[in-house]
Chains A and B, each alone.
Chain A
């Protein structure tokens, strides 16, 4: 590309174009341009996005040396930087909590920071300095392994749209306060919290992602929620708390989300929803709910099956359904209550948009078969049903297949795919 007769035009490009190019480079290459020529000396210094990862300094076998070198690099860079910094991201596993990080955040708080992502190493959690709460323009905050303690006078981040806290030490009141004081919040992700009881009030919230040990979740004011994904872990005292609870978890969680489009649950989520009194016929129809994915559903717990059924029958526009069983080898229990299916599933129920069904970890227990029978009979436009049996139950697979073949299908196009290892 270099020609002997050509002149150096690229160095004279307008600054806005040069910044668009530099921002696409890894930070190390961007800063390197400062020794390219005297014209390039400070072109990098006004880029508004700074992203630091493992490769921003030379690696070497001594972790301490690399850590010191990265701290020096970032500090020096910030010192030479000019102008606003809109995005600052650190994802460096060998960088531990250190006093310089406080100084960086102070610097950022004075330079209009909008997006801050801090993912430090596995050591001691970094305690976020109070100057973070002065960042008035913050629109995205992602913290990993930090301690967050908002001051009492904190009135919220008025521009915050996205909040992601992963393994963050923060008091339950502080989290609830933080969420409800950020009026524009659209996306919330909380992971690895211990025994948290949470009430979420976020009128603009659209995306909710939760993972951890939650004792109690109440979606108080989240009418615009479109996507929910929950992975719920269980401990002994949470289990005990569940035994004693009388309130209806299903309604507390899914009672106020009429615009839901996608629901994903993992581990004990279905069990969580089944706790408390049966809501009966649901007062709410999820007319936009098109995708339901529920994992680790226990088909030996009638209440969990009821939760699954209520969800399916309250979603008239459901297109895709994925359910996975809890892969416990079925014990020889007493005869299951199969009348339940006749009671709950009226033959008039039609899932007129359901096209794809995937059932994983199926053991062939009676309730699983009844669910398959119900789905096949009620889905006139079903295209594919994939059944993946649990790997531990080789003998019952033939029995499952024999029963399957007998079921009536409402859709002539339905293809049943039975996946055997």
Chain B
């Protein structure tokens, strides 16, 4: 099943002139060789993929190497053998499809681009985290559940910057705190005692 997916994917990539090229001699006659196999032979062995299943029961196929490098939970599952490549998928009931796709995006980008220079990676990360607060919350919960250390650190850093050096009123706006929950007397007392924080 896995190989079929890969073959279809590769066929879609090949330009027609290459498909026409793929001929090899077999028993004295020239036989057309399946182009996908040639490309695979050129590339090396097929990339092992694993299946992740979101809370909405949508299945995402992703390179095993990518997820194993980033997620401690998935790495442990594969190492202790509880994941069977042929049949099973990893159910992630607390992560919805939109968030799971983003998480996979992050891990894939960082695996394939880990040799890029620091500035480019940081710019990509900044763009990646340009989401609304709901999205940020979902990403944080997913990264926490899957134990993806560098994504967690990135999100912690972002939230930290929402607090550091900012006035209370501004933080309340950023966090959407509409009701601070203090009594009017408490709030007034705080403002009197720490005017420079507001």
Partner-B contacts on A (CB < 8 A) = 1-3, 6-11, 13-14, 17, 20-21, 24-26, 29, 32-33, 35-39, 58
Contacts and interface: CB of A to CB of B under 8 A. Distances in A.
B110 interface: no
A1 B159 CA distance: 11
Contact of B182 (A2, A6, A37): A37
A10 B133 CA distance: 8
Contacts of B152: 20
Contacts of A36: 168, 171-172, 175, 177, 180
Nearest to B183: A38
Q: Which of A13, A37, A58 has the most CB of B within 10 A?
A: A37
Contacts, number: 81
Nearest to B152: A20
A261 B65 CA distance: 34
B17 to A, nearest CB: 46
A38 B177 CA distance: 11
Interface in B17-38: none
Max chain B CB contacts within 10 Å: which of A8, A26, A36? A36
A232 B103 CA distance: 54
Interface of B: 132-134, 136-137, 140, 144, 152, 156-157, 159-160, 162-165, 168, 171-182, 190, 194, 196-197
Given A29-B163, A33-B163, A20 B156 contact: yes
Nearest to B176: A8
B163 A25 contact: yes
B132 A6 contact: yes
B156 A24 contact: yes
The dominant DSSP class at the A interface is loop
Contact of A38 (B132, B133, B175, B181): B181
Closest 9 CB pairs of A and B: A38-B181, A9-B137, A37-B180, A8-B176, A35-B190, A2-B174, A24-B160, A6-B133, A10-B175
A13 B140 contact: yes
A37 B181 CA distance: 6
A1 B161 CA distance: 12
B179 to A, nearest CB: 8
A29 B167 CA distance: 10
Contacts of A35: 168, 190, 194, 197
A9 B190 contact: no
B165 A29 contact: yes
Contact of B176 (A7, A21, A38): A7
Nearest to A14: B144
Contacts of B137: 9-10, 13
Contact of A17 (B140, B178, B197): B140
A2 B180 contact: no
17 contacts: A1-B132, A1-B133, A1-B136, A6-B132, A6-B134, A9-B176, A11-B177, A17-B144, A32-B163, A32-B194, A32-B197, A33-B163, A33-B171, A35-B197, A36-B171, A36-B180, A37-B179
